[in-house]
Amino acid sequence: MTISIDWPKLVARNRVKAPGMPWTKEESKALANGVSPDDVRAGFLEIPEDVPGTEKELERMNIAELSKKAKGLGIEFDAKSVIRADLVLEIQKAEKKATIFDKDLEETKPVTTKPKPKPKPESKSEPKGKGKGKK
């Protein structure tokens, strides 16, 4: 009988970072200080300061928060099979399109046309077609 390590179970219980990959010392300290395992896996080793009125970074949102935001932006997805990384990318695309559209609206200014200047009348002293050199 062979004994094998159940990596998915260890990852699900946050005992390891990924299959075959333990937490580093810095990551272990961050986990001990209360940083969520998902944040540590994303590279954040400090607890974010909660500033009232500011929105949480996409990278720090869990799948439920991302799903709610995606639905608010009109992104269609299957909640049972979508992965977090794909939701982050789709939300970033949707927000980028929205900001580009908003900038286009702000930059649009009414077009004003200036009247074209009237052509100057030719002098009546010289008839057309005759130049100075001919007599």
Question: Which residues, other chains included, contact 8 with Cβ-Cβ below 8 Å and sequence gap of 6+?
Answer: 19
Question: Which residues, other chains included, contact 26 with Cβ-Cβ below 8 Å and sequence gap of 6+?
Answer: 45
- Kind and range of the H or E run holding 103: helix 84-107
Determine the longest span between alpha carbons in the chain, in angstroms: 121
Question: Which residues, other chains included, contact 57 with Cβ-Cβ below 8 Å and sequence gap of 6+?
Answer: 48
pLDDT of 75 higher than 80: yes
- State pLDDT tens for residues 23-33: 999 999 999 99
Residue found by looking up tokens 């970033």 in the block? 92
- Kind and range of the H or E run holding 39: helix 37-41
pTM of the full structure:
0.47
Percent of the chain with pLDDT over 70: 70
- State pLDDT tens for residues 36-70: 888 888 888 887 776 566 667 887 788 888 999 99
